[in-house]
Structure 1
Amino acid sequence: MQSIERQAQKNGVKLKDYGRCQFCGAKTKGGVFECFDIFNDMASNFVGGTGLFPFIFADAHCLQHSEVHGQWNNNFHLTRQYLILEKNIEWTYSKTPQLSHIMDQYKLSHPDVLIPTLPVQERGEVTVTDLVGLKLKDLEMMILKWANDVYQSYGRFHPNAKVVGDLYINRYER
């Protein structure tokens, strides 16, 4: 993953290192940088982990911070949320390149079907700071709540995610 500063600059966005996170509204004092520090610290707990939590954790945060990711970020992460949360697919690390392959094929024939960045702080109420200090069972419940909250905030784009998700299912899950 490239640095958030480089990607933000490409997108014409100035990152703030003070106050609440400028994208998700997380209760930070160090802005988006603290938000990413919390995310990265927590993500290190999932390295090598199994189950859906590493994936929906990453998807929720990426969808809340579109400005520091690539152009097709929202399509990819919303599609993976669709596959996990709606279709109950047990996600593994090996499935991510498969979804990327389907997404790459889709982009060739539908280059203008991008899921846009939602208005700032309209990407779900739950943020990464709501996870801080939770024990495992409560943490897992809150990650699931966070993922669903972010997923629902993109509700009008669920049909876009469904198209690509169903292409993935037809190719790899049948």
Structure 2
Amino acid sequence: MQDYINFAEKNGVTLLDKGKCQFCGADTKRGIHECLTIFNLGFQKIDFSNIENHIYRFLIVDAHALQHPEIHGRWSNHFHLTRLHLIFEYNIKWTYALSPKLSDYLNDYKSKRRNEYLSPPNLKERGNITTSDIINISTSEIVCKELIGKWAVEVYDTWTNCHNVVDQISRGFLNR
């Protein structure tokens, strides 16, 4: 992943260093920077070395990326929303092996649709659950997993206006 500060700059976004996260509203003191620290280090209640817990890593990455599209590349939304769509709507049991396959499929897809853009929901309207909520509320691995699942569904649901596009991508990916 490229540097989020550079992406924000490229997208014309000034990152705030104080207060709540300007994108998701997470209750932080250092804005997006703290939100990203929580994202990178904050889900210690889950043993990600256990293969059965890998799904939670995918849900965390997708939910966070879709709550913060201004600090990622334009095609990031396609990848993360499509992956959630495949998981939620097609009941795909996602694995690390599928991610590069989806990425390859999207590379071909986007070569034919250079101007396609998924418009994100408004700032702070991309799901009510945030990284800080999960850290503050999770008292156990079970609670943490439940919150991550709810978080991913909430974020996915806020992108409803793009579900038809990612459904086309999903069907193409599944039928490749």
Give the TM-score taking structure 1 as reference length.
0.93
- Range moving further from structure 2, 142-151 or 47-56: 47-56
| Pair 1:27–1:101, CA change in 2 (3 A) | same
SS in 1 for 2:23: coil
CA distance in 1, matches of 2:89, 2:55: 12
1:170 maps to a residue whose letter is N
| Pair 1:46–1:17, CA change in 2 (3 A) | farther
Indicate which of 155, 161, 164 corresponds to 1:159. 164
Matches within 5 A, 1:16-35: 16-35=16-35
Gaps (5+ residues) in structure 1?
none
Matches within 5 A, 1:6-155: 6-42=6-42, 48-50=49-51, 51-133=54-136, 134=138, 135-155=140-160
CA distance in 2, matches of 1:63, 1:143: 14
2:16 touches 2:32 (CA, 8 Å); kept in 1?
A: yes
Cα shift at 1:42: 2.8
Cα shift at 1:117: 2.6
| Pair 1:111–1:87, CA change in 2 (3 A) | same
2:120 touches 2:159 (CA, 8 Å); kept in 1?
A: no
Cα shift at 1:49: 4.7
2:22 maps to a residue whose letter is Q
Q: Deviations over 1:76-131 (max 9, x none)?
A: 11000000111111111111010001111110112222212321111111111111
Gaps (5+ residues) in structure 2?
none
2:55 touches 2:94 (CA, 8 Å); kept in 1?
A: yes
Q: Count residues with an aligned counterpart.
A: 171
| Pair 1:64–1:46, CA change in 2 (3 A) | farther
